[in-house]
Amino acid sequence: MLFTRELKITGLQSSAFVFGPRLTGKTTLLSAVNATRAFDLLDPELEMQYHASPALFGEQIAALPERSTIVVDEIQKVPTLLDYVQRGIDRQGHIFILSGSSARKLKRGSANMLGGRALDLRLHPLTSAEIGATFNLEHAIRFGTIPKICSLLNEENQDLAMAHLRSYITTYIKEEIQQEALTRNIGAFQRFLAVAAQNNGRLVEFSNIARESAVAASTVKEYFHILEDTLIGFLLPPWSKKERLKTHSKFYFFDCGVACAIQNRLADPPTPEDRGFLFETWFIGELRRIRDYSGKQHEFSFWRKNNHEVDLIVSTGRGPVLGIECKSGSAEISVSTVKAFREKFRDVPLVVASAFGTIPRIVHGVEVLPWAEVIRRYRQI
């Protein structure tokens, strides 16, 4: 099943990197580009050819007409080609669309990142709008929204969807971690990954995770950097920059299905506690996708003071513009939390995104809205 993606790369007037986790649909997206020439570096023979002679790539693009549109899929496979990409941009005005699952290998190898000549675009799992009428929140928080998984669920093939999610982790560790030599101790990384998944949506306590995964705290920090750089997850910082010195960030996996697969919890429905963290993971991920696709210059963070917390603060350069609390069950936002928030953010709107409520309500002076309505409001900011 093909989905209409919100990230538009056809007709770009500038070169662009398109980074995204595996299976988010980069190759499918690139196939829609009316390219003069396309290079698929997932082809082992082509990859070996360019490793042996990167100049061959330069000669081939030099032979193309000026201002050609050129697609290179999985550019991180042969980073040295980026020197010839820059030459093609500067000398012939070519427009390159370059995809990859991670910029980490490029940056680690001091690859040419084109010095501002290319946009930095991100492709994520599907948004609810991209899935459309078949979107199912229960499926989204349990199995995620990777395109292949959504297609299988639409075909009512849940068993195969779960099998693909389980194999995703094996493939990620083999191809992203082991093959790219991001860490020498694969066993330690696998232990860490399981513990990190158990802490999805929670404050990152490096010492606790280090103890549970039997690795040093410094190694845990490096492993979290690997998860971020390979786009498997992201850190959500506390709102106050002063508080960041003493309050840890939260970590979220990029897809709920992947998080559940790591924990081996695909077969059983999530517990009420797990449902809360998974809904929060999906919802914040949804807003990040909308932000990236629409080019909104927003910063995301969370706010915490003592026992009071608001899951997401949306800020512009001028400061916070919206606070969002995610609720997956019947529990209400407390009046004391609302009071503490109002004292800190006097004029900032605060809303509750309800996972299963369908009728807007007012609780302690705060709008409690269906999640889809909160997403609609965010799109209008």
And the tokens for 228? 């971020």
Q: Looking at residue 56, what is its pLDDT?
A: 98
Q: Within the chain, where are the H helices?
A: 26-31, 44-52, 54-62, 81-92, 104-108, 128-131, 137-143, 147-154, 158-171, 186-198, 206-213, 217-229, 256-262, 272-294, 335-344, 371-380
Check whether 278 has a pLDDT greater than 80.
Answer: yes
Check whether 175 has a pLDDT greater than 90.
Answer: no
Q: What are the extents of the domains in the chain?
A: 15-122, 128-268, 296-380
Phi and psi based region of residue 11 (left: phi greater than 0; alpha: psi -120 to 50; beta: remaining): left
**Lowest model confidence (mean pLDDT) among 5-14, 19-28, 174-183, 315-324:** 174-183
Confidence of residue 3 (pLDDT cuts 50, 70, 90): very high
Mean pLDDT of 243-266: 89
pLDDT tens digits, one per residue of 107-118: 665 577 888 899
pLDDT tens digits, one per residue of 145-161: 999 999 999 999 999 99
Q: Looking at residue 26, what is its pLDDT?
A: 95
Question: What top-level class would CATH report for the domain 296-380?
Answer: alpha beta
* Cα–Cα distance, 107 to 105 (Å, whole number): 5
The proportion of the chain whose per-residue pLDDT surpasses 70, expressed as a percent, equals 96
**What is 15-122's CATH topology?**
Rossmann fold (3.40.50)
Confidence of residue 356 (pLDDT cuts 50, 70, 90): confident
Fold: same for 15-122 and 128-268: no
CATH architecture for segment(s) 128-268:
Orthogonal Bundle (1.10)
Contacts of 261 (CB under 8 A, 6+ apart): 162, 165, 166, 168, 169
pLDDT tens digits, one per residue of 284-322: 999 999 999 999 999 999 999 999 999 999 999 999 999
